[in-house]
Structure 1
């Protein structure tokens, strides 16, 4: 089960002012005081990491230049102290219990949003949305996007396509496109792009964009099939279905990295390489490892994905400010359990559960 606890950062006796922060750590349903020491260690580790980033790591004339190949630890992360996250009670020091959150990896400020935003800009540059200035292309693309939403009955929080929508500097496309609405908009934009790409004849495209569009069509088809299968399946994926899911996931990652390389060679900023690409790979490796063991069924990764209202906005804001932290944690857990009961009750067919 994936629930999230309210953790007071300053004291174990009262919550800090304003909305209580959410740990965003899946599988945590423990009262906050029990994990306070772990969280403090984690915060100190983050500070140390930030200080390391401020050092002149790029200066090859300093201490780095004096390092010999034999000085470099082939497994640098194994010799250091383990992550403070391993001290959480439910892990018991075993990192195998940790699972990647697909929602934050892909849709919520993840690589999926980067992928779709960069793809829209790439199609604009290729002339797919007409000629003229950038604002006109933005308008043409958004009109087609809304026409798709109306035809398919989908909803979106995106009100326009503009520099601001893609988090670009006004008047310039020189930047890595991001943004593009909220988390749930990623699936809508992905479905629309997949439909647009089906209409593109790569052979007749400009030679500068021909290879990029070919890879884009291939990778977009793969990732859309990946998520349709994930959300259209039950908790356990049959072996053949899981095999196809893993194959589609790797195809997307290969396509993403290839597009990043092709756009960079063409002096186009797009498909930013981020650590969440590594997390996406872990998501696939988890399923691939189970398949390699000969398992007939593989756990659907949507099971350990955060839900839509991950921060419980509007659910516990009042009680978290007016009660003891343990009361807030207990009430949060009660609401989490109630949420899951309703969610699973609507998801599973009672007849299926009774017959099984």
Structure 2
């Protein structure tokens, strides 16, 4: 491998251009930022970005020691615990993240980045209080207490996420395995950091990879998963979860209970045909059981709920309320068509947003098309942003509350409306609650969030059964319901262990800020021409990213006097 030295001395050097082989025998050479170079540069010049806002010393060592002591209850078989224990105080926990953006002419841009698990603002020690039934204050100057460790979801995403590679996949459509090959090259480099560490100012630091964050589509993109969400909707019963056998014959994925049959099959087998490109990273046993290696692919609560089942639930509730004639106001001249009722529902939502000073993103109206209703055998869902789905759930909670005030006790619709409210409240408690906490959840907060998930899953199942009995095509049973239930089961198992005081917050694998990072990288890429320039596009993109990141870091240091 040949190092590229064409980058300015104030920036990171471009990593080696590995020979990325294809199955058909062709090879290509593509520039990328070697993870070891990125981590080495950060440890030398900006170590606080990897160490929760602290510089190397007693504070950072206490912080890391506390993290690994608590993470051992999450994943005791992680390979990091096979290393000498003295390493843990200088071992940095890291997530990988992959996703696709849009470059010029909406062409796909493949992006891989990495991020520290510990929040950059941990060192500030500012207290924040959650809104659980038993409120808990997070943030502390006592670094031996897990309550001091913050989520890494604040500040500019260029301060918390670090680019490894980005390239337009359509430019290399004759080399379909290029994405996998690049992941493997980055993984081999990361494996060296995990095993042998990096020297920085007289100290040796190590990395430990806790998993790969992405949406289900990107996980499946590697092409080796035999069980994935992409199997849903087929006539055969195929596995929809890479972690368990849910969806296979006699193991229904629709069961969200803590005693579901699939709970006994978690990590019982590997979901891939070929060992994934991350096999070089010390994580779990990649080719022999027992192993929790399938859980390297981390579930993202943002795509599971806000961009997933929340949009299914909201669309179905709106259409059910329209079916109940709850958007009719008694005017003899008003139309009773679905489109007219949806239009009145939209106007009501606009009035709510104005009174609450809320602003919707790209959504501009309700219609059968925008709710994907009435086309073939598909179930409805809203095509909106994650933030929009939360606003719509809040509005539905408010509106159904108003309706319930005027419904008689004997009205059979009353119980259905109460269940709708139960689901709305539970979903909001979960999706907003995880972001109102720090990196570790105490038992009282685990119980509160588990209750929210239970209420949402129960309501979704009840309403799906109600719709089936009344011949309504609503509340489709999608694989993301199973993914949501997996969060609930994990919280139940954490509570069942009486000696366990803390649980890693599901928000640590949330990809909402990663979406911002992808958008920023894609925006840079759209200002670069890649026609007839062999690898010049990728090289220029990496250089411009480094320049932008350097400016953001400089502003952050100036603001915080670092």
- Greater relative contact order, per chain length (Cα 8 Å cut-off, separation 6+): 1
1:111-150 equivalence runs, <5 A: 111-130=309-328, 132-150=336-354
Alignment partners' CA distance in 1, 2:21 and 2:323: 46
Structure 1 75/208 Cα, relative in aligned 2: closer, same or farther at 3 Å? same
Q: Which has the larger radius of gyration?
A: 2
Relative to structure 2, which stretch is displaced further, 249-258 or 206-215? 206-215
Deviation at 1:21, TM superposition (A): 3.5
Structure 1 80/161 Cα, relative in aligned 2: closer, same or farther at 3 Å? closer
- Alignment match, 1:316: 525
Structure 1 51/243 Cα, relative in aligned 2: closer, same or farther at 3 Å? closer
Deviation at 1:51, TM superposition (A): 10
- Alignment match, 1:65: none
Find 1:186's aligned residue among 380, 384, 389. 389
Deviation at 1:200, TM superposition (A): 2.5
Q: Report SS of the residue matched to 2:109.
A: coil
1:41-80 equivalence runs, <5 A: 42-43=222-223, 78=268
Structure 1 111/150 Cα, relative in aligned 2: closer, same or farther at 3 Å? same
Structure 1 83/333 Cα, relative in aligned 2: closer, same or farther at 3 Å? farther
1:193-342 equivalence runs, <5 A: 193-201=396-404, 203-204=407-408, 207=411, 209-293=413-497, 294-306=499-511, 307=513, 308-309=515-516, 311-312=518-519, 313-318=522-527, 321=530, 323=535, 327=539
Do structure 1's residue 107 and structure 2's residue 306 form an aligned pair? yes
Deviation at 1:288, TM superposition (A): 3.6
Deviation at 1:246, TM superposition (A): 1.2
Alignment partners' CA distance in 2, 1:9 and 1:205: 69
Unaligned runs of 5+ in 1: 1-7, 59-68
Relative to the length of structure 2, the TM-score reads 0.48
Relative to the length of structure 1, the TM-score reads 0.72
Structure 1 332/197 Cα, relative in aligned 2: closer, same or farther at 3 Å? farther
Structure 1 138/23 Cα, relative in aligned 2: closer, same or farther at 3 Å? same
Query: Of Structure 1 and Structure 2, which has the larger fraction of its residues in strand?
Result: 2
User: How many residues are treated as equivalent by the alignment?
Assistant: 324
Residues 438 and 505 in structure 2, CA contact (< 8 A), matched pair in contact too: yes
Query: Of Structure 1 and Structure 2, which has the larger fraction of its residues in helix?
Result: 1
Relative to structure 2, which stretch is displaced further, 149-158 or 303-312? 303-312
Deviation at 1:42, TM superposition (A): 3.3
Alignment RMSD, CA only?
A: 4.6
- Alignment match, 2:29: 13
Alignment partners' CA distance in 2, 1:48 and 1:188: 30
Deviation at 1:309, TM superposition (A): 2.7
